[in-house]
A and B are shown apart, each in its own frame.
Chain A
């Protein structure tokens, strides 16, 4: 079966100016992410992995090269186009969950649906489905401060999948969790990938976390130094 390309980076470079010095993070980086892939990006601090994830998520722009998503070149998008593109195609999972502390779990999960034209009843149904999927439907009315770190991250996962995006980007999703809880979260991501066909790109320091992915790439000094495919 031929694999369908979802993301393609062609000769991407990223640099920034500090004082009079230009510091390069990537130079001429090529990368392809296929639909349905679960990719882990590993690398030491400062290797550029979070910058790469931010560029995949359209929250950072390359200084050179091309980024293609589903046959569309997104590095030329304006800010407002990128915002709409993110809303339709990307789900984010952050290390520190980034839930809105003043909204309950259901309202947090509902946030991406406010960007759609779904009715209130449809939104409520989708929120219930997403919370059920992460096993937290009984906590819908709980505030983030009333939940454990693992539960908050599951709410964040429900928020990332509720609008059925094609790609889920995870920035150190288990970095703030204990091992057992981290494993539960990673199993959940694996489930989303295997049973629901979600494409997942995860940045992590943790080899144990990376072992849940189908493929792992190692980034160092802006270059891919190693590629591993799970057995």
Chain B
């Protein structure tokens, strides 16, 4: 066993040291696997960033009530009467001002994307100070909050990054109405930063919503405990509402865009096939280049298994080097990159690409697969090549 390990180690070291003889072919294999890993990581980082943005927005201490059957805030309608009834339901936390309930509006306005110069949808949320207090992590980063009853709005940091014309102090026009941007806010990088916030009553007026809202957010007495609220809703036929935690809502919204990760994997798989073809060529060339050395070692008594392992090891080293290069490139170019895409409510969600150790592990696994598959068949040839044939080919 010790002898076999010595053989494999020696053959591997020899193969690695002989790489300069095949410098360009080897570099091509490194680059091919680097590109594939970088592309996979870019897509996964995009999906991960989007998922994080969506899931971090939701809290399980907040319940969302929407019209029965509504899949998203945009599709829901809630009347003022229903809001009043909800305020009396059990299971809702209270503070000095009474039950913590935030009826909210959610309408779509246009903005111009900095990256493309094209129009895209931005959500304009109508809420009041209770809605902001309910979220807990709202921080004004610039300016001040809007004054109730006025055409003032505050802008999420994500909108500021991705869209033109929302600087604090500027005026923006949506339809017939002109709004003044008086402040900017952060919610820790989650989906709310992709929104504009203004007074709910002003939005009701400008968008002819009467006294209706679209959602009701309430703070639960016990995080995640929807049962008292659900029982109250079930007991009152006027409350044709669905209830779920805010966390569950955003998690389901985030899952609608899992196609990004799937698409990334499909693209990476197709590219990996191309990289494999190149890598196979590199490794077959390597075996041909080392034929005399392989034959000599086998004539000396080295096992064909050591020739096999040495070739596989060479392929793995090259592919892993490519994987590391691709990971580094993905980290440098994509980690923290701002982007926006269409969310579940047909509005732009601003998010950051997010690299994580799990993604790097996936990149490393892909590199290992490329290395193993591209090394396997040439290694098999190296191991099975009759010693005498190798001598004839090279002398």
Contacts and interface: CB of A to CB of B under 8 A. Distances in A.
Contact of B300 (A54, A95, A102, A115): A115
Given A59-B391, A111-B10, A115-B7, A98 B296 contact: yes
Interface string A24-61: 00000000000000000000000000000010010110
Interface stretch (A78-86, A131-139, A193-201, A223-231): A78-86
Given A54-B388, A95-B395, A114-B7, A100 B293 contact: yes
3 smallest CB-CB distances across A and B, nearest first, come from A87-B301, A102-B17, A98-B296
B60 to A, nearest CB: 61
Interface string A121-152: 00000000000000000000000000000000
A100 B300 contact: no
A115 B301 contact: yes
A117 B14 contact: no
Given A79-B304, A102-B14, A102-B18, A59 B388 contact: yes
B6 A114 contact: yes
Contacts of A95: 395
B300 A111 contact: yes
Contacts of A84: 301
B292 A98 contact: yes
A51 to B, nearest CB: 9
A188 B392 CA distance: 27
Interface size class of B (residues with CB under 8 A): 20 to 34
A111 B10 CA distance: 8
Contacts of B6: 114-115
B138 to A, nearest CB: 64
Nearest to A169: B299
Contacts of A54: 388, 391
A100 B14 contact: yes
Contacts of B7: 114-115
5 contacts: A83-B303, A92-B300, A96-B395, A112-B300, A114-B3
Given A60-B388, A94-B296, A117-B2, A112 B301 contact: yes
Given A83-B298, A111-B10, A112-B300, A59 B2 contact: no
B345 to A, nearest CB: 62
Given A98-B292, A115-B7, A88 B304 contact: no
A122 to B, nearest CB: 13
A70 interface: no
A103 interface: yes
B302 interface: yes
B303 A80 contact: yes
A83 B395 contact: no
Main SS class of interface, B: helix
A115 B301 CA distance: 7
B301 A83 contact: yes
Interface of B: 2-3, 6-7, 10, 14, 17-18, 292-293, 296-304, 386-388, 391, 395
Contacts of A80: 303-304
A63 interface: no
Contacts of A60: 388
A117 B2 CA distance: 7
A80 to B, nearest CB: 7
A96 B391 CA distance: 11
B5 to A, nearest CB: 10
A123 to B, nearest CB: 9
A117 B386 CA distance: 26
Contact of B304 (A83, A94, A102, A117): A83
A13 to B, nearest CB: 17
Contacts of B304: 79-80, 83
A111 B300 CA distance: 8
B65 to A, nearest CB: 72
Contact of B14 (A96, A103, A116): A103
A163 B61 CA distance: 76
A117 B6 CA distance: 10
Contacts of A114: 3, 6-7, 10, 302
Q: Counting chain B CB atoms within 10 Å of each CB, which of A59, A88, A114 scores highest? A: A114
Nearest to B395: A96
A101 B18 contact: yes
Contacts of B386: 59
A15 to B, nearest CB: 14
Interface string A63-84: 0000000000000000110011
Contacts of A102: 14, 17-18
Contacts of A90: 301
A92 B299 contact: yes
B24 to A, nearest CB: 18
Contacts of B395: 94-96
A30 to B, nearest CB: 22
B160 to A, nearest CB: 58
Given A87-B300, A94-B395, 18 more contacts: A54-B391, A80-B303, A83-B302, A83-B304, A86-B299, A86-B301, A87-B301, A90-B301, A92-B296, A96-B395, A98-B296, A100-B297, A102-B17, A114-B7, A114-B10, A114-B302, A117-B2, A117-B3
